Amino acid sequence: MNIDWDIIAKAMPLLAEGAIVTVQVSFLSAILGLVLGIAMGLAALSETRLLRWIVAAYVDFIRGTPLLIQIFLVFFALPVIGIRLDEFWAGVLALSINAAAFVAEVVRGGVGAIEKGQTEAARSIGMRNRQILVWILLPQAYRQMVPPLTNELISLVKNSSLLSVISVYELTRAGQAIISIHFVPFEIYTLLALYYYLLLKALSILSKKLEERLPQW
Amino acid sequence: MVSSFPRLRAEDVTKSFGETVVLKGVDMDVSAGETVVVIGASGSGKTTFLRCLNRLETPTGGTIWLDGETIGGAFDGPSGAWRSASEARMAEQRRQFGFVFQRFNLFPHLTARQNTAIGPEKVRGLKRADAEALAERELARVQLADHVDKRPSELSGGQQQRVAIARALAMEPRIMLFDEPTSALDPELVQEVLDVMKALAEAGMTMIVVTHEMAFARDVADRVVFMADGVIAEEGPPEAIFGSPQKAATQKFLRHIARH
Ligand SMILES: Nc1ncnc2c1ncn2[C@@H]1O[C@H](COP(=O)(O)OP(=O)(O)OP(=O)(O)O)[C@@H](O)[C@H]1O
Ligand SMILES: [Mg+2]
């Protein structure tokens, strides 16, 4: 088998540019998804039945449909209702609303897993529901929430490769562009795998470090 | 009128969980400064009764007064219809009851000082420094002055239960409710908790104590209440209940306890 080393040397910096976009998209989506997801997770824990129902329906919809379809929906359907985003921001939005559903579930589940006695003890000293959430439940829950959230971040980076379908010039798209010109799928897909692997490895090392620093009690 | 009310009055309190009727109509008056010990077989409804008092459970029926004020709502307007209290009002009323749980239920992420200070700070609105100073005083009162910076996981069961007592006291409750406070403890740790409770009773705190510690009941109780099957079957001064119980059920229960 012949490996085209020339192409590899040329492709590496181009792919690095794509990798930067992958990191940018993932980072922005993670932040936005976290903010949206935490807000929805808290809404899911609220006293208001309507809010709980809305979040449940949202989570159900996101989990029940393929991410690829959600990406197309954001990219092609939003302009129909007058919201025009470029590929990059449409991509960020699509990944965010997808991640938010998972984050909401993690927040709701994490708080729900705290022993009932904690809420009762807080009630017994006269705390209001909101105070119980803020001072008693969330500070205990976030420790359990971090591992599933870092997992979600890792899937988010993997999922970002799907944004190639709406021409976001991220890592996968950058690779496909090189392949379409030079037709060297073996070299490029191998390189792509390697780039993703390194990115995800770095992330998982970081999240291990973070998990180690979580408070113990 | 109000001044003739006892500290606590429970009138015909009933509680059902679905089809299961747990409390069948419990009446109890507790005067200020009085210590009432509640005994009774497992499943007789002791815990449920305490939890109905501070509304960790909503009673199915009956009324509870604290110093003449109805708990959990009010008989409103000329029709006298019952109106449930708002969440804010309920929280405000609940803190008048100190509650000590069988399993302590301390906040594991907070130190003993923070466990005790969080109520005064967040609920009573004290400044943090004042709340922490108060917490230290309450912890000293339960003999834990040297352990204020420890988390619950660093404390023995007996120490944890005393933190839980300090946490309740820091809210300056009008009555303390204890639900088998020593039954989750190793035998050698029981006495230190009972000593704290005895000191509290002697200092004039109004208390209802559910316990199987009969020596404590004899020694500290002003009145012993025997519950069976969701009702108060017999009550009286400890000498009478332990010395000459009138009901067969009481006699049977006390014989059963004595064997263990
Ligand atoms: N949340 C609940 N749902 C359904 N049944 C309950 C609930 N809480 C208590 N019960 C039932 O009510 C009955 C009385 O329970 P309770 O805990 O009040 O008894 P107890 O006198 O405190 O007993 P123990 O000495 O074992 O603590 C039991 O049969 C119990 O199964
Ligand atoms: Mg009980």
DSSP characters over chain A: ----HHHHHHHHHHHHHHHHHHHHHHHHHHHHHHHHHHHHHHHHTSS-HHHHHHHHHHHHHHHTS-HHHHHHIIIIIGGGGT----HHHHHHHHHHHHHHHHHHHHHHHHHHTS-HHHHHHHHHTT--HHHIIIIIIHHHHHHHHHHHHHHHHHHHHHHGGGGGGGT--SHHHHHHHHHHHH--HHHHHHHHHHHHHHHHHHHHHHHHHHHHTS---
Q: What local confidence, expressed as pLDDT, does residue A24 receive?
A: 97
Distance of CA B184 to the CA centre of its chain: 16
| pLDDT at residue number B175 | 98
Mutate to test the pocket of ligand 1, among B16, B38, B47, B229 (most ligand atoms within 8 A of CB): B47
Q: How far is CA B207 from the centre of its chain?
A: 6
Residue B219 pLDDT > 70, yes or no?
A: yes
Chain A residues lying within 8 Å of B58, measured CB to CB: none
Report the pLDDT value the prediction gives residue A181, as an integer from 0 to 100: 93
Per residue in B31-52, pLDDT (tens digit) is: 999 999 999 999 999 999 999 9
In the predicted model, residues of chain A with pLDDT beneath 70 are 1
Give the model's pLDDT for residue A87: 95
Closest ligand 1 atom to residue B210 Cα is: 22
Per-residue pLDDT tens over the stretch B56-67: 999 999 999 999
- Chain CA centroid to CA A96, Å: 6
**Site to substitute for ligand 1 among B37, B46, B178, B256, most atoms within 8 A of C-beta:** B46
Domain range for residue A19? 5-213
- Mean pLDDT of the residues in chain B: 96
- Within 167-196 of A, beta carbons closer than 8 Å to B belong to none
Look at residue B1 and tell me whether its pLDDT is greater than 50: no
Q: Which of residues 115-144 of A touch B (CB under 8 A)?
A: 115, 117-118, 120-129, 131, 135-136, 139-140
Closest CA to B14 of B59, B47, B53: B59
Q: Do A123 and B151 lie within an 8 Å CB cutoff?
A: no
Q: What is the CATH number of the domain that holds A68?
A: 1.10.3720.10
Q: Is the pLDDT of residue B3 over 60?
A: no
Instruction: Collect all residues with Cβ–Cβ distance below 8 Å to B164 and sequence separation of at least 6.
Output: A121, B100, B101, B104, B105, B106, B115, B181
**Separation CA B3–CA A120 (nearest Å):** 31
Give the pLDDT confidence score for residue B145 in this predicted structure. 97
Three-class SS state of B126: coil
Number of structural domains chain A divides into: 1
DSSP conformational letter for B105: -
The candidate with the shortest Cα–Cα distance to A32, out of A86, A89, A107, A112, is: A89
Residue type, B57: E
Task: Give the residues across from B98 on adjacent strands.
Answer: B176
- Residue-wise pLDDT tens digits, B71-128: 999 998 888 899 999 999 999 999 999 999 999 999 999 999 999 999 999 999 999 9
CB pairs under 8 A between A and B: 67
How far apart CA B196 and CA B224 sit, in angstroms, is: 19
B133-189 pLDDT, tens digit per residue, is 999 999 999 999 999 999 999 999 999 999 999 999 999 999 999 999 999 999 999
Give the pLDDT of residue A169. Answer: 95
ipTM confidence score: 0.94
Q: Which residue of A has its CA nearest to B99?
A: A124
